[in-house]
Amino acid sequence: MSFEAKLKTVRNIGIMAHIDAGKTTTTERILFYTGKTHRMGEVHEGGATMDWMEQEKERGITITSAATTCFWRDNTINIIDTPGHVDFTVEVERSLRVLDGAVALFCAVGGVEPQSETVWRQADKYGVPRIAYINKMDRVGADFANALSEMREKLGSNCIPITIPSGEGEMFHGIIDLMTNTQRVFHEESSGMTFDDVAVPDDMIEMTNKYREELFEAVADFDDQLLEKFLEGEELNPEQVMAAVRAATIANKMVPVLCGSSFKNKGVQKLLDAIIDFLPSPHDMPPVRGHAVDDTEKDMERKPTPNDPTSALAFKIMTDPYVGRISFVRVYSGTIKAGSYLLNPNTGNKERVARLLRMHARKTEDLKEAPAGDIVGVIGLRKTTTGDTLCDPDHPVILERMSFPEPVVAVSIEPKTKADQDKLTDALIKLAEEDPTFQVRQDDDTGQTVISGMGELHLEILTDRLRREFSVDASIGRPSVSYKEAITASVEAEAKFARQSGGKGQFGHVYIRIRPADEGEHFQFENKIVGGAIPREYIPAVEKGIEEAMLNGVLAGNPVTGVHVELYDGSYHEVDSSEMAFKIAGSMAFQDAAKRAKPIILEPIMAVEVTVPEAYMGSVVGDLNSRRGKISGMVPKGQVTIVACEVPLSEMFGYANNLRNISQGRAAFSMQFAKYAPVPQEVSKKMTEQTTA
């Protein structure tokens, strides 16, 4: 088989969804039906193959994106099972960056839930083609039509069913394939391994025809011959329809929708068929784009062939207690061989590929080489971090990096004994390497180590891992919010730094103008120096000085964001001027300007959705109002109401227990970061008083 033909049989896919939509159960069934496992692991029993971490087994949730490879119809499927909890959204982000396609899971009862929307938008951002699978059709309250209409409304996508359920809830007993116009009935005694494809029952013919017409109408738009046949009322060829669905899916113009019940072993084989039939292989994807190492403006591309120079992206770092540091790598072009050397152009280091591994959650298999299109684990990359490019040393290229959200919650951490001190430092470095949204810093005022993450659960899991994996006993402080500061006015400032202490002195003199930056920008620096008032070699030092000054705001010492700075004048001394002098002058000028630029404190605001029975509505809404919450909508859904609101993160600590108490355990909530917004005057006053006290 030629390389091109082989590449067409590879699928790199992710499985993504809201927490509890059945992602891990679906993955377990896929592994069972493809012969990777001989028994099905269940999440509720703590036996899921892909949830191998102790914390995942205990909580029944996925935390890290586990990778595995399986085979179906002579095709290779590399699967990444991503977490659904919003605190681990970075895992989804980095997985989508390297995948060619995705399977989005939805619950037939819950429909489109908040995190489903988040991961869908992430997939939109990277242009990832996807198919949708409406799971849990056997659950009481399952409603296929409602879930489908929610997907169309909330996600704004062209979701077209290619299978529909035969019955819903307790009456769910089979799946109707709209392409072949047959019903698949599963044999319970074989765990769904065997089934019969039979004629559509009489009571389902009308509904089947309605959905079939919708499908044919949708695909006719992508194939002129099909459109002609459709308009003339001719029977459409299923193979031609499949080809049109595939083309529309890869072009991101259509999302084929399937249904089933993974837990009851119904519909997973059809999902596997759809992965092969409709999702792209690396061969179908456009060449990966990057830029030259020495010139960010010079675009370069790498095609998924063994003839192009090797290029790959490290998208995840994992520390394994047995084999050590594993870097998960997506190979985009060329071939990586065990024992070869690759260049990391981001750091300039050459790295040796000691071993190549085919991953199956925690089990591994050694490989001699990994061609373009493959996803593998690499051992031996010591200085490579998440988002780094690896390439042929003779043909360097830097692939587009990933962007990660900033952490919003911080806690202080202290080792309990002297022996734990060194172990803690080592462990925190390893965890920060694995997770780009986990940050570690030293607080200069208190001397404490402060760790920051995406939420309470995120930090709870990380501190739990410190104890179990690294045997470090540490005391954790109360969670605190990561505030920021911003300016609201335009101000000019001048600063002169001059020191004369015998011999060579120090001299730097700058004039700057600061104003709020363009929306979404953290820091913009503009050099407006004309006529050589400040020599060119000192200008980066001024910028660096300002950036360092922004780390500690003038109100409460929080990092400053959203600043546009113009350096428009200054002066220098032939002998005494230096980079250090201009760096200090830049810092002094910024601090002076920031005090007069009407600074404000910003706090993280969370988008919160509470699902609450009618009886507890008043208590829940009253409680949210007392937390400075702004209600943005209330939508009745069956027996419950979904309350959407925005609440400051500082008011949400301990909310889970409180909600449980006021609703007798019957309400549930989900929360994710929405934006930074100014804190109210009285809160800001209190914070600045505490800082100056």
Q: Which residue has the tokens 């001024």?
A: 542
pLDDT at 691: 64
Q: Which of 256, 190, 197 is nearest to 222 (CA)?
A: 256
Start-to-end Cα distance in the chain:
74
Which residues make beta-bridge pairs with 103? 15, 131
**Residue type for position 129:** P
Residue 432: per-residue pLDDT = 84
pLDDT the model gives residue 51:
40
Helix axes 89-98, 114-125, angle to 10 degrees: 30
Burial classification of residue 682, based on how many CB atoms lie within 10 Å of its CB (0-12 exposed, 13-18 middle, 19 or more buried): exposed
Distance CA 466, CA 472 (A): 6
pLDDT along the chain (693 residues), means of 10: 86 82 80 67 44 41 55 88 54 78 91 78 86 94 93 90 93 91 87 87 92 88 80 80 92 95 91 96 91 83 91 84 81 94 92 87 79 91 87 92 75 85 86 83 77 80 81 83 92 90 81 91 90 90 94 89 94 89 94 94 90 90 94 85 91 85 83 86 79 61
Query: How far apart, in whole angstroms, are the C-alpha atoms of residue 392 and residue 336?
Result: 9
d(CA 241, CA 255): 14
The confidence score (pLDDT) of residue 692 equals: 62
DSSP 558: P
Rounded Cα gap, residues 80 and 316, in angstroms: 11
Cβ partners under 8 Å of residue 395, min gap 6 = 309, 310
| Summary count for the chain: helices (H), strands (E) | 17, 38
The reported pLDDT for the residue numbered 343 is 94
Sign of CA dihedral 348, 354, 358, 362: negative
Region label for 78, one of left (φ > 0), alpha (ψ between -120 and 50) or beta (otherwise): beta
Query: What is the rounded radius of gyration, in angstroms, for the C-alpha atoms of the chain?
Result: 28
Nearest to 260 by CA among 337, 186, 160, 200: 186
Beta strands in 39-162 (DSSP E): 66-72, 75-81, 101-107, 130-135, 159-161
- Domains delineated in the chain: 3-201+254-284 (3.40.50.300), 288-399 (2.40.30.10), 409-482 (3.30.70.870), 485-598 (3.30.230.10), 601-692 (3.30.70.240)
477 Cβ contact partners less than 8 Å away, ≥ 6 residues apart: 411, 412, 413, 414, 448
Contact 87, 21 (CB under 8 A): no
Res 258: pLDDT: 97
CA–CA separation, 107 and 269 (whole Å)? 18
How many angstroms separate the CA atoms of 184 and 658, rounded?
Answer: 47
Per-residue CA distances from 113 to 107, 154, 287, 668 (Å): 9, 10, 34, 12
Helices 579-596 and 539-549, axial angle in degrees (round to 10): 40
Residues 6 or more apart whose CB falls under 8 angstroms from that of 465 comprise 53, 55, 431
| pLDDT at res. 46 | 43
- Measured CA to CA, the distance from residue 405 to residue 89 in angstroms comes to 9
